[in-house]
Chain A
Amino acid sequence: MATKRFTKDHEWVSVEGDSATVGITDYAQQQLGDIVYVEVPEAGRSLDQGGEAAVVESVKAASEVYAPVSGEVTEGNGDLEGDPSLVNSAAEGDGWFFKMTLSDASQLDDLMDEAAYKAYIAELG
Chain B
Amino acid sequence: MRYLPLSDADRLEMLAAAGASSIDDLFKDVPASVLLDGPVDLPKAAGEMAVERTIGALAGKNLGTSSAPSFLGAGAYAHHVPSAVDHLIQRGEYLTSYTPYQPEISQGTLQYLFEFQTQVALLTGMEVANASLYDGATAAAEAMLMAARITKRGKAVLSGGLHPHYRDVAVNQARFMDFQVVCADPDPLAREDLTALIDAETACVVVQNPGFFGQVRDLSALAEACHEAGALLVVAVAEVVSLGAVTPPGAMGADIVVGEGQSLGNGLSYGGPYLGLMACRQKFLRQMPGRLAGQTVDVEGRRGWVLTLSTREQHIRREKATSNICTNSGLCALAFTMHLTMLGEAGFTRLARLNHAAAVKLADRLGALSGVEVASDTFFNEFALKLSKPAAQVVDDLAAKGILGGVPVSRFYPNEAALENLLLVAATELTTDDQADAFEAALKEVL
- Do A and B touch directly, given a CB cutoff of 8 Å in the complex? yes
Interface residues of chain A, those whose CB is within 8 Å of chain B, are: 36-37, 57-62
Closest A residue to B318 by CB, please name it.
A62
Q: What residues of A have a CB within 8 angstroms of the CB of B320 in the complex?
A: 62
Q: How far is the CA of A73 from the CA of B320 in the complex (A)?
A: 23
Does B410 lie at the interface of the complex (its beta carbon under 8 Å from any beta carbon of A)? no
List residues of chain A with CB within 8 A of the CB of B317: 62
0/1 string, B289-320, CB within 8 A of A gives 1: 00000000000000000000011000011001
Instruction: Give the total of B residues in contact with A, Cβ under 8 Å.
Output: 6
Q: Which A-B residue pairs are the 5 nearest by beta carbons?
A: A62-B311, A57-B311, A62-B317, A62-B316, A61-B316
- Majority secondary structure, B binding face: helix
* Complex contacts, A58 vs chain B, CB 8 Å: 311
Which of chain A's residues has its CB closest to B316's CB? A62
Q: Shortest Cβ distance from B186 into chain A, in angstroms?
A: 41
Look across to chain A and name the residue whose beta carbon is closest to the beta carbon of B320. Answer: A62
List the A residue with the shortest CB-CB distance to B317. Answer: A62
Binding site for A on B (CB under 8 A): 286, 310-311, 316-317, 320
Nearest Cβ on chain B to A45's Cβ, whole angstroms: 12
For this complex, 16 residue pairs linking A to B, each with C-beta atoms less than 8 Å apart, are: A36-B311, A37-B286, A37-B311, A57-B311, A58-B311, A59-B310, A59-B311, A60-B310, A60-B311, A60-B316, A61-B311, A61-B316, A62-B311, A62-B316, A62-B317, A62-B320
6 more A-B residue pairs beyond the given contacts A61-B316, A62-B316, with a C-beta to C-beta distance below 8 A:
A37-B286, A59-B310, A59-B311, A60-B311, A60-B316, A62-B317
Which residue of B310, B311, B316, B317 has the most chain A CB atoms within 10 A of its CB atom? B311
Q: Which residue of chain A is the closest to B308 with respect to CB atoms?
A: A59
Report Cα–Cα, A57/B311, bound state, in Å: 7
- Measured in the bound complex, the distance between the Cα atoms of B310 and A62 in whole Å is 10
Complex-state Cα separation, A57 to B320, whole angstroms: 13
Q: Which residues of A contact B310 (CB under 8 A)?
A: 59-60
- Cα of A60 to Cα of B317 in the assembled complex, Å: 10
List residues of chain B with CB within 8 A of the CB of A37. 286, 311
Tell me the complex Cα distance, A58–B310, Å. Answer: 10
Which residues of chain A come closer than 8 Å to B316, judged between CB atoms? 60-62
| Least Cβ–Cβ distance between B102 and chain A, in angstroms | 14
A57–B286 CA distance with the chains assembled, in angstroms: 12
Residues of B within 8 A of A62 (CB): 311, 316-317, 320
Alpha-carbon distance between A36 and B316 when the two chains are bound, in angstroms? 14
Q: How far is the CA of A36 from the CA of B317 in the complex (A)?
A: 15
**Residue numbers in B under 8 Å from A36 (CB-CB):** 311
Q: How far is the CB of A98 from chain B (nearest CB, A)?
A: 18
Q: How far is the CB of A51 from the nearest CB of chain B, in Å?
A: 15
Nearest CB of B to A10, in Å: 19
> Which residues of the other chain, B, contact A60 by a CB distance below 8 angstroms?
310-311, 316
Docked complex Cα distance between A108 and B82 (Å): 69
Residues of B within 8 Å of A59, CB to CB, are 310-311
**Nearest CB in chain A: distance from B316 CB, A:** 6
Cα(A76)–Cα(B221), bound, Å: 35
Q: How far is the CA of A59 from the CA of B310 in the complex (A)?
A: 7
Please report the C-alpha to C-alpha distance between residue A36 and residue B286 in the assembled complex, in whole angstroms: 12
**Residue in B closest to A52 when the chains form the complex, CB atoms:** B320
Nearest residue in B to A39 (C-beta to C-beta)? B286
A61 to B310 alpha-carbon distance, docked (Å): 9
Give the docked Cα–Cα distance between A59 and B316 (Å). 10
Question: How far, in angstroms, from A19 to B286 measured CA to CA in the complex?
Answer: 31
Q: How far is the CB of A39 from chain B (nearest CB, A)?
A: 8
Tell me the bound Cα distance from A36 to B296 in angstroms. Answer: 14
Chain A nearest Cβ from B287, distance in angstroms = 11
Interchain CA distance A61-B316 in the complex, whole Å: 6
Q: What's the Cα separation between A62 and B286 when bound, in Å?
A: 13
Whole-angstrom distance from the CB of B168 to the nearest CB of chain A? 33
Docked Cα-Cα span, A37 to B317, in Å, equals 14
User: How many angstroms from the CA of A104 to the CA of B108 in the assembled complex?
Assistant: 57
Contacts of A57 in B (CB 8 A): 311
Q: Which residue of A lies closest to B315 (CB)?
A: A60
- List A contacts of B311 (CB < 8 A): 36-37, 57-62
* Min C-beta distance of A27 to chain B, whole Å: 21
Give Cα distance in the complex from A38 to B317, angstroms. Answer: 14
